[in-house]
Amino acid sequence: MPTFNDFLILLPEAYLTVAACVILLMDAFLKGGQRVAIHWLSIIVLLVGAWLVIDGQPATAVSGFSGMFIRDPVAEILKVFSLLTTALMFIYSRGYLRDRNINEGEYYALTLFAVIGIMVLVSAGSLVTVYLGLELLTLSSYALVALNRDSKLSSEAAIKYFVLGALASGMLLYGMSMIYGATHSLDLATILHVQNVEWRNLMLFGVVFAIVGIGFKLGAAPFHMWIPDVYQGAPTAVTIFIGTAQKIAAFGMAYRLLDSGLGAYAHEWRMMLAVLAVLSLAIGNLLAIVQTNLKRLLAYSTISHMGFLLLGLVEANPAGYSAAMFYAISYALTSAAAFGIILAMSRAGFECEEIDDFKGLNQRSPWFAFLMMLVMFSLAGVPPLFGFFGKLLVLQSAIDAGFLWLAVVGAVFAIIGLYYYLRVVKVMYFDAPVEGTDVRAQPDMPLRFVLSLNALALLALGIAWGPLFAWCQRAFGITA
Round to whole Å and give the CA distance between 307 and 328. 11
Residue 480 in any domain: the answer is: no
Query: Count of CB atoms within 10 A of residue 384's CB?
Result: 16
72-85 pLDDT, tens digit each: 999 999 999 999 99
Query: Count of CB atoms within 10 A of residue 34's CB?
Result: 10
CA 259, distance to chain mean position in Å, is 19
Residue 187 in any domain: the answer is: yes
Round to whole Å and give the CA distance between 249 and 59. 23
- How many domains does the chain fold into? 1
Residue 155 in any domain: the answer is: yes
Helices marked H in 146-199 — which ranges? 152-183, 188-192
Residue 234 in any domain: the answer is: yes
Measured between alpha carbons, how far is residue 56 from residues 50, 133, 367 in Å? 10, 21, 40
pLDDT at position 4: 76
User: Angle at the Cα of 412 (from 406 to 416), degrees rounded to 5?
Assistant: 140
Long-range contacts at 102-105 (CB < 8 A, ≥ 24 apart): 102/147, 102/148, 102/235, 102/237, 103/27, 103/147, 104/27, 104/35, 104/38, 104/39, 105/23, 105/24, 105/26, 105/27, 105/28, 105/30, 105/35, 105/38
Confirm if 130 and 86 have CB atoms less than 8 A apart. no
Instruction: Please give the single-letter amino acid code of residue 61.
Output: A
Percent of the chain with pLDDT over 70: 96
Round to whole Å and give the CA distance between 70 and 122. 9
Average pLDDT, the chain: 91
Residue 421 in any domain: the answer is: yes
Q: Is 199 or 344 the better-scoring residue by pLDDT?
A: 344
338-394 pLDDT, tens digit each: 999 999 888 766 778 889 889 888 988 899 999 999 999 999 999 999 999 999 999
Going through 395-461 in order, the beta strands assigned E by DSSP cover: none
Total count of residues recorded for the chain? 480
220-260 pLDDT, tens digit each: 989 999 999 999 999 999 999 999 999 999 999 999 999 98
Residue 212 in any domain: the answer is: yes
Confirm if 387 and 458 have CB atoms less than 8 A apart. yes
Weakest-pLDDT range from 6-20, 40-54, 441-455: 441-455
Q: Is residue 69 within a helix (H) or strand (E), and if so which, with residue range?
A: strand 69-71
263-279 pLDDT, tens digit each: 889 988 999 999 999 99
Q: Domain range spanning residue 131?
A: 4-475
Residue 422 in any domain: the answer is: yes
pLDDT at position 441: 43
pLDDT at position 250: 94
pTM of the model: 0.95
Residue 36 in any domain: the answer is: yes
Coil, strand or helix at 100? coil
Round to whole Å and give the CA distance between 408 and 379. 19
Round to whole Å and give the CA distance between 396 and 174. 35
166-178 pLDDT, tens digit each: 999 999 999 999 9
Does residue 332 carry a pLDDT above 90? yes
Cis peptide before 467 (omega within 30 of 0): no
